[in-house]
Amino acid sequence: MACKGDSTQKCGAGNRLSVVSDDSWKQTFFARENVGAWNLLGCYTDSTSKRSLPSSVSLAAYGGGANATIANCVQACQARGFAYCGAEYYSECFGSNVAPATNLAGSDPLAAGCNFPCKGNSTESCGGSARIIVYSNIKS
């Protein structure tokens, strides 16, 4: 059937759907804005002596560190009841019910050092060296 907005193009038919594939489009590296109800707070400084989010969260149920993604990290944090969750150094996941205090405010997370790709999805940021990308699941 012809499309209503442009009769020179085809728009499926009765019980049919036109599908188009664009092989030229490629996802670029980015910091996820949100995952479900979890929203990006920003990039925070972190250290092994004083963690911004003190509880290490296992990703074993999601394929381990080799499958680290922001979605897997926040799901693991949610399962543990945390309100704050962050990813760091390619595959580490941390959680807390207290907000971190050392935000690199106003900064683009990638420019602030949260520029290490997740091991399970190389197009998304999983923090950096001494940098943790943090998400919040606070309901208003």
Q: How far apart are CA 87 and CA 100, in angstroms?
A: 13
Using the predicted structure, report yes or no on whether residue 70 has a pLDDT greater than 70: yes
Average pLDDT rounded to a whole number, residues 94-98: 97
Predicted pLDDT at 105: 62
pLDDT at residue 31, as a whole number: 96
DSSP string, 63-91: T-GGG--HHHHHHHHHHTT-SEEEEETTT
3-state secondary structure of 133: strand
pLDDT tens string 24-65: 877 799 999 999 999 999 999 999 999 999 999 999 999 999
Higher pLDDT, 20 or 76: 76
- Both structure tokens of 24: 């030229």
**Which pLDDT does position 106 carry in this prediction?**
67
CB 75 within 8 A of CB 127: no
* Separation between Cα atoms, residue 84 and residue 82, nearest integer Å: 6
- Residue 22 pLDDT greater than 90, yes or no: no
pTM over 0.85? The answer is no
Q: What is the mean pLDDT of the chain?
A: 92
